[in-house]
Amino acid sequence: MSDRPAHPSSARELRPVAFRDFVSEEPFALELGGELPALTLRYETYGTLLPDKSNAILVPHALSGDHHVAGRYAPDDRKPGWWDCFVGPGKAIDTDRFFVIGVNCVGGCQGSTGPLSADPRTGRPYGGFFPEITLGDIVRAQRLVVRHLGIAKLHAVVGGSMGGMQALIWCADYPAEVGRIAVLAAGLSQSPMAIALNAVSRACVERDPRFRGGHYVPGEGPEDGLAVGRMLAHISYLSPASFEQKFGRAKVPGAAAADPAHWQVESYLEHQGRSFVRRFDANSWLRITRAVDRFDMTARAAAGKLFAADGPEVLAVGFSSDWLYPTSELRMLLAAATAVGVNAAYHEVVTDAGHDGFLLPDTGLAVRLHAFLG
Amino acid sequence: MSDRPAHPSSARELRPVAFRDFVSEEPFALELGGELPALTLRYETYGTLLPDKSNAILVPHALSGDHHVAGRYAPDDRKPGWWDCFVGPGKAIDTDRFFVIGVNCVGGCQGSTGPLSADPRTGRPYGGFFPEITLGDIVRAQRLVVRHLGIAKLHAVVGGSMGGMQALIWCADYPAEVGRIAVLAAGLSQSPMAIALNAVSRACVERDPRFRGGHYVPGEGPEDGLAVGRMLAHISYLSPASFEQKFGRAKVPGAAAADPAHWQVESYLEHQGRSFVRRFDANSWLRITRAVDRFDMTARAAAGKLFAADGPEVLAVGFSSDWLYPTSELRMLLAAATAVGVNAAYHEVVTDAGHDGFLLPDTGLAVRLHAFLG
Cα(A360)–Cα(A327) distance, rounded to whole angstroms?
17
pLDDT for A258 equals 75
| Beta bridge partner(s), residue A24 | A39
Q: What angle do CA A291, A294, A297 make, to 5 degrees?
A: 120
Cα(B221)–Cα(B280) distance, rounded to whole angstroms?
11
DSSP state of A14: P
pLDDT: which is higher, B11 or A13: A13
Cα(A344)–Cα(A271) distance, rounded to whole angstroms?
40
pLDDT over threshold 70, residue B240: yes
Mean pLDDT across the stretch A232-243?
97
Cα(B201)–Cα(B211) distance, rounded to whole angstroms?
13
Q: Which residue of B has its CA nearest to A208?
A: B208
Mean pLDDT across the stretch B282-297?
98
| Beta bridge partner(s), residue A162 | none
Mean pLDDT across the stretch B116-144?
97
Helix H or strand E encompassing B299: helix B298-302
| Beta bridge partner(s), residue B157 | B58, B181
| Model pLDDT for residues B66-80, shown as the tens digit of each residue | 999 999 999 999 999
pLDDT: which is higher, B277 or B8: B277
Mean pLDDT across the stretch B242-254?
94
pLDDT for A5 equals 39
Q: Do B228 and A203 touch (CB under 8 A)?
A: yes
pLDDT over threshold 90, residue A15: no
pLDDT for A162 equals 98
**What are the angstrom distances between the C-alpha of B369 and each of B103, B159, B169, B183, B374?**
21, 11, 20, 11, 9
Which residue among A199, A235, A239 places its CB closest to the CB of B269? A199
SS3 B250: coil
pLDDT for B261 equals 67
| Beta bridge partner(s), residue B125 | B118
Helix H or strand E encompassing A23: strand A20-24
Total residues belonging to chain B? 374
Per-residue pLDDT band for A319 (boundaries 50, 70, 90) equals: very high
Q: Which CATH class is domain B195-291?
A: mainly alpha
Which sign does the torsion angle of CA A235, A236, A240, A244 carry? negative
DSSP state of B114: S
| Domain regions of chain A by residue span | 8-190+297-373, 194-291
Q: Residues B64, B321, B355, B356: which is the catalytic one?
A: B355
DSSP state of B35: E
In chain B, the DSSP E strands lie at 20-24, 28-29, 35-36, 39-46, 56-58, 87-88, 93-94, 99-103, 156-160, 180-184, 313-319, 344-349
Q: How far is A226 from chain B (nearest CA, A)?
A: 10
Q: Is B355 a catalytic residue?
A: yes
pLDDT for B113 equals 98
Q: Residues B117, B161, B284, B321: which is the catalytic one?
A: B161
Is the CATH number 1.10.1740.110 carried by domain A194-291? Answer: yes
pLDDT for A1 equals 38
| Model pLDDT for residues B306-321, shown as the tens digit of each residue | 999 999 999 999 999 9
Per-residue pLDDT band for B353 (boundaries 50, 70, 90) equals: very high
Taking the alpha carbons at both ends of chain B, their separation in whole angstroms is 37
Q: Which residues contact B339 (CB under 8 A, 6 or more apart)?
A: none
Write the single-letter amino acid at A112: S
Residue in B35, B135, B200, B286 to test binding to A, most A beta-carbons within 10 Å: B200
Nearest to B292 by CA among B29, B43, B64: B64
Which residue among B258, B261, B265 places its CB closest to the CB of A32? B258
Q: Which residue of A has its CA nearest to B289?
A: A260
**Percent of chain A whose predicted confidence (pLDDT) is above 70:** 97
Radius of gyration of chain A (CA): 21
pLDDT over threshold 70, residue A361: yes
Contact list in A for residue B270 (CB cut-off 8 A) is 203
Q: Residues B67, B322, B347, B356: which is the catalytic one?
A: B322
Write the single-letter amino acid at A300: R
pLDDT for B254 equals 84
Per-residue pLDDT band for B11 (boundaries 50, 70, 90) equals: low
DSSP state of A307: -
Concatenated DSSP letters for A146-191?
HHHTT-SSBSEEEEETHHHHHHHHHHHH-GGGBSEEEEES--SB--
**Percent of chain B whose predicted confidence (pLDDT) is above 90:** 91
Q: Which residues contact A370 (CB under 8 A, 6 or more apart)?
A: A92, A93, A94
**Mean pLDDT score across all residues of chain B:** 95
SS3 B126: coil
Nearest to A158 by CA among A230, A56, A241, A74: A56
The phi, psi pair for B256, rounded to 5°, reads -80, 155
Contact list in B for residue A207 (CB cut-off 8 A) is 208, 224-225, 227-228
| Active-site amino acid positions of A | 161, 322, 355
**CATH superfamily, with its number, for domain B12-190+296-373:** Alpha/Beta hydrolase fold, catalytic domain (3.40.50.1820)
Instruction: Count CB atoms within 10 A of the CB of residue B173.
Output: 15
pLDDT for A261 equals 67
Mean pLDDT across the stretch B22-30?
97
HSE on the CB side for A18, CA within 13 Å?
2
Is the CATH number 3.40.50.1820 carried by domain A8-190+297-373? Answer: yes
| Model pLDDT for residues B173-214, shown as the tens digit of each residue | 999 999 999 999 999 999 999 999 999 999 999 999 999 999
Taking the alpha carbons at both ends of chain A, their separation in whole angstroms is 37
**Structural contact between residues A224 and A270, judged by C-beta atoms closer than 8 angstroms:** no
Q: Do B243 and A191 touch (CB under 8 A)?
A: yes
Which residue among A193, A202, A243 places its CB closest to the CB of B192? A243
Total residues belonging to chain A? 374
Write the single-letter amino acid at B210: R
List alpha helices for B113-215, DSSP H: 135-148, 162-173, 192-206
Cα(A80)–Cα(A46) distance, rounded to whole angstroms?
13
